[in-house]
Structure 1
Amino acid sequence: MNEQTMAGSRLRGYVSHGAELRSGELNPRTYLEETLTRIAELDGVVGAFVVVNREGARRAADESAKRWADGRPLSPIDGMPVAIKDIIETADMPTGQGSPLWEGTEGKRDSASVHALREAGAIILGKTTTTEFASKHPWHETTNPHDPKRTPGGSSSGTAAAVGAGMVPAGLGTQLIGSILRPSSFCGAVGFKPTVGAINRSGSHDHFSQSCQGSIGATLADTWAVLRAIADRAGGDPGYGGLAGEVDFTQRTKPVKLAVLETGGWSATTEGARRAFASLKHRLQEQGVEVVGRADDDRIETVEQAVAEALPLTTAIVAWEGRWPLNTYADLDASKLSLDARDRLKTAEAMTQQEFRELLNQRTAVRATYEEAAANYDAMVTLGACGAAPVGLGSTGNVAMNVTASLLGCPALTLPALADEGLPLGLQLLGRTDRDAALFDVANWVAGEALGRPDLVGRVA
């Protein structure tokens, strides 16, 4: 199965077809059957899904079709088939967390986000693969939809691969270090990591302080609409106001100034990736956008210095915060934990609480430095990954280009705007905390105008 077969004839986005859904020209059941056909044709090679609830999805699609026919859809995503990362609980499907320890564990409740999606009329189609506990170790052999010899990235491997293959218009992922942005970059999808706390994670096994739930979609509009629907019904994490703002995808406003952020991972990027990025930078400048870097603005260099140790800082924070539940998992059956998980537990057990408090103070200082600088630009831009997806399924790729946004807790998204080795490579945009909608405004213009790719935008019709 070649790239053209797997990723060429994409399934359409969903929310841009509101007029057709209202007129009856497009039916949610028909759309679902297209989705199921794509899965049947492609997932034997891609391996994006752990389970697909076909009959439940068909019942939900028929109910959605009635609502559209009666002129009373519950939301713009009513009838949209949505894939759910298998770290997020669902009442009607198991939640295995990418681990043999929990494989086949039957669901008893929906997470807050899944419950909200059902309230919005979305079809919870199936569970997608994740690395072990949404960390590094790839337990499932999910492949890249553009080249099955290459990794799809992780840990939101299955959701990114399913969207990148055109099997579904959107799905949920989670990100702690790079788990949405990197696989989206590798698989040619739009990936969005919102501001930390913007989406309610209750009922999801991603409890870390800089982790968040986000979305991966075929278009910007689909990607935004999924999280907007959740936030409207479930809000954000406890103590957070939730995803803020609205995005009008019919209006495109050119950004005034963008800042190029060359993080600590820049030295690991491929020559092809850097050429692609430089070409896009030149295109933006030709269209009248001021694009500045460290040589033009000392504030950018200050941010780059502040985030230079983002990976070791994040790794240490995550180790301490992951002590529980890893210690209880080891009590159950340590032989079912990967060596990576056992090593993280050993690291945590050697740490002290005071060390952890100092790490949090460092993170707070880094975030303040970034926010002060970011106020001067419409967005910061960088690569979505170090290059094209690497060959092999034993690793999910280098996290170096993604950990910065996670440490900062700011909104970040990746657009399938670039290429390396003839394969997808994302353009990453970073915004200011709680200004997620403003970041989408920038991405809307970049995709629709600078790239000339209205197909990446979509819109609520």
Structure 2
Amino acid sequence: MKYNPEQPLAITYFDAIPAFLSGSDTPRDYLERCLETIAEKEPTVKAWVTLNEEGARQAANEATQRYKAGKPLSAIDGMPLGIKDLIHTKDMPTKMGSPLYENNHTYTDSSVVQALRSAGAVVLGKTVTTEMGMSHPGPTTNPYDSSRTPGGSSSGSAAAVGAGMVPAAIGTQVIGSIIRPAGYCANYALKPTYGAINRGERQGYSQSHHGVHAGSLEDMWQVAIEVAMRAGGDPGHPGLFGTAINPRAERPTRLIVMQGEAWSRVDPLARTGFEKLVDAIRASGVQVLWGDDNPLIRAFEESVADCMALCRDICGYELRWVLENLVERHPNDLSDSLTGRLELSRKMTVNDYRALLGQRDNMQRRHAALAGLGDALISLSSLGPAPKMGDATGSDPGIDHTTGSPIMNAPSSALWAPTVTQPLLAVNGMPVGIQLLGQLHTDERLVRLAAWLRDNVTPVSVH
């Protein structure tokens, strides 16, 4: 089906709460509607690895009783969610998109899952990830066109939300694994400031993040803040700042367009649509700056000119010991994509890694220098609409992008910057996300700015 920004498939939860409190609806009935949608769409979308329907029904029944008593645990009490299948759950295996982990039962909840359960959320199942969260795709398809990818590596989380199976899901991002698939599947999504949401057992990368896919900004924020209030941030990090009250819309004074290293590769129609959107933002009284408008912006753009390669090499070096162990035990069971990553990392030295960290530090300084120039950066969340399944066109050296290129997302990950994407653009009937990037720990304000755009700028469709 064609994507219509005015009529998305995604569902919301926050606006069902008054009915739960009045008794005209219940979390159990809400869950059953989700399960009906899953039964209808899952044969095509293939978003789920494992479903725990019995456990979900029990949790939804308990939430129903709390609402009946007028004592919900939180704003996400009773909310059905998907968990990316890289994250540990005590009641379901964690298969990590690889046959090597087919029977990987950890019998423990990761910090984010433990926090969700504490807030009353209904952990419905595990969503498909690419192989170990890298490039090799799983079976998931785009909810708006089954011949196209949903993106990766948070493929199932993005597709489940985009298809209206659940109102929210947890994803992870090292380079572009939350923001890009969210854009492809018409999600709202938050990749928070680095370290803002505790990653539990998944702390092997120096720029990985846990984040939220959702059908609304309200549900996105509520999931993030309820988790953060219970699990905190990563060790040594102050966590996500903000309150459990949904952020009010705030009009930006000035936005800065981030073009990045791949602007020349952006789909022409997507670029046209983005420029129309920028014109509409400007017509609303918001000043919009481009790279040539200020030398600090140009210096920042130059600093991120090789960001994709930098992220590839930093992450490859940090993952190499994991892959070496797997290759030793299972020499013939990893994809060519993953073994190719390992070959690249084997060529690196510790001095190479140190140089890359210095380059990343410079990017972060250049970004911090923009704080006084604008309220946020704005850009496309991807090069264009989701490509066809298995299409590796546009891959970068050393990485086959069969789930679409993350090159538009690499800066936000390397910068550790909070990022929100929202479905404000349709290109030939497919969704394309628009991302806002903020300064460190401005996550809540970024959501306020995104809410203003949602409420005041009409989504653009181009054909």
Measured after TM superposition, the shift of residue 413 of structure 1 is 1.3
The aligned amino acid for 1:191 is A
Aligned to 1:442: 449
Structure 1 contact 11–34 (Cα < 8 Å) conserved: no
| Match status 1:184 vs 2:163 | no
Distance 2:34 2:369 in 1: 44
- Residue among 265, 278, 281 paired with 1:281: 278
Partner of 2:394: none
CA distance in 1, matches of 2:155, 2:122: 20
Q: 1:128 matched to which residue of 2? A: 127
Residue identity in the other structure for 2:427: D
Q: 1:312 aligns with which of 301, 309, 313?
A: 309
Aligned to 1:145: 143
Tell me what 2:164 maps to: 166
Determine the structure 2 residue equivalent to 1:349: 346
- Secondary structure (helix, strand or coil) at the match of 2:332 reads helix
Which TM-score applies when normalising by structure 1? 0.94
Cα deviation per residue 1:309-342 (whole Å; 9 max; x = unaligned)? 1011111101110012111111221211111211
Q: Distance in 2 between the 1:358 and 1:313 partners?
A: 10
The reply on whether 1:27 has 2:26 as its aligned counterpart is yes
Of 324, 327, 333, which aligns to 1:330? 327
| Secondary structure at 2:195 match in 1 | coil
Among 234, 252, 255, the residue aligned to 1:255: 252
Q: Structure 1 residues 444-453 or 168-177, which shifts more? A: 444-453
Q: Deviations over 1:359-409 (max 9, x none)?
A: 111111110111111342111100011001111235101111111111111
Q: 1:420 to 1:9 in 2, by over 3 A?
A: closer
| Contact 2:149–2:404 under 8 Å retained in 1 | yes
1:375 and 1:349 mapped to 2: Cα distance? 41
Q: Distance in 2 between matches of 1:26 and 1:177?
A: 40
SS in structure 2 opposite 1:184? helix
8 Å CA contact 2:277, 2:459 repeated in 1: no
Asked whether the 8 Å contact 1:143–1:393 carries over to 2, the reply is no
What is residue 407 of structure 1 aligned with on the other side?
Answer: 414
Matches of 1:207 and 1:220, distance apart in 2: 29
Counterparts of 2:69 and 2:2 in 1: how far apart (Å)?
40
Provide the rounded CA distance (Å) in 2 between the counterparts of 1:208 and 1:253.
Answer: 33
Q: 1:211–1:406: 8 Å Cα contact kept in structure 2? A: yes
Alignment of 1:364-379 (within 5 A): 364-379=361-376
What's the secondary structure of 2:407's corresponding residue?
A: coil
Q: Which residue is equivalent to 1:459?
A: none
Percent sequence identity over aligned pairs: 42
Aligned to 2:388: 391
TM-score by length of 2: 0.94
- Residue 136 of structure 2 aligns with an amino acid whose one-letter code is H
1:424-452 deviation per Cα after TM superposition (whole angstroms, max 9, x unaligned): 00011100111101110100100012238
Offset of residue 181 of structure 1: 0.6
One-letter amino acid of the counterpart of residue 192, structure 1: L
Give, in angstroms, the shift of residue 9 of structure 1: 7.3
Q: Please, which moves more after superposition, 326-335 or 170-179?
A: 326-335
Structure 2 residue 419 is matched with structure 1 residue 421: no
Query: Partner of 2:48 in structure 1?
Result: 49
**Aligned counterparts of 2:289 and 2:98: Cα–Cα separation in 1:** 44
Tell me the distance in 1 between the aligned counterparts of 2:10 and 2:363: 41
Distance 1:251 1:226 in 2: 16
Tell me whether 1:75 sits opposite 2:74 in the alignment.
yes
Taking the aligned partners of 1:145 and 1:452, their CA distance within structure 2 comes to 19
Quick one: which amino acid aligns to residue 406 of structure 2? V
8 Å Cα contact 1:3/1:145 also seen in 2: no
The one-letter amino acid paired with 1:174 is T
SS in 2 for 1:380: strand
Q: Which residue of 2 aligns with 1:457?
A: none
Unpaired runs of 5+ residues, structure 1, are: 454-461
Alignment of 1:2-17 (within 5 A): 2-3=1-2, 10=9, 12-17=11-16
Q: Residue 115 of structure 1 aligns to which amino acid in structure 2?
A: Q
| Contact preservation (8 Å) 1:91, 1:107 | yes
Amino acid at match of 2:251: K
Task: Give me the whole-angstrom Cα distance separating, in 2, the residues matched to 1:423 and 1:365.
Answer: 36
Q: 1:47 to 1:3 in 2, by over 3 A?
A: farther
In structure 2, the gaps of 5 or more residues are 392-401
Deviation string 1:159-179 (CA, Å, 9 cap, x unpaired) is 000000111100000000100
1:418 and 1:9, CA in 2 relative to 1: closer, same or farther beyond 3 A? closer
The question of whether the paired residues in 2 share the 8 Å contact of 1:247 and 1:440 is answered with: no
Shift of 1:8: 6.2
Structure 1 residue 242 corresponds to structure 2 residue 239: yes
Q: Which amino acid aligns with 1:162?
A: A
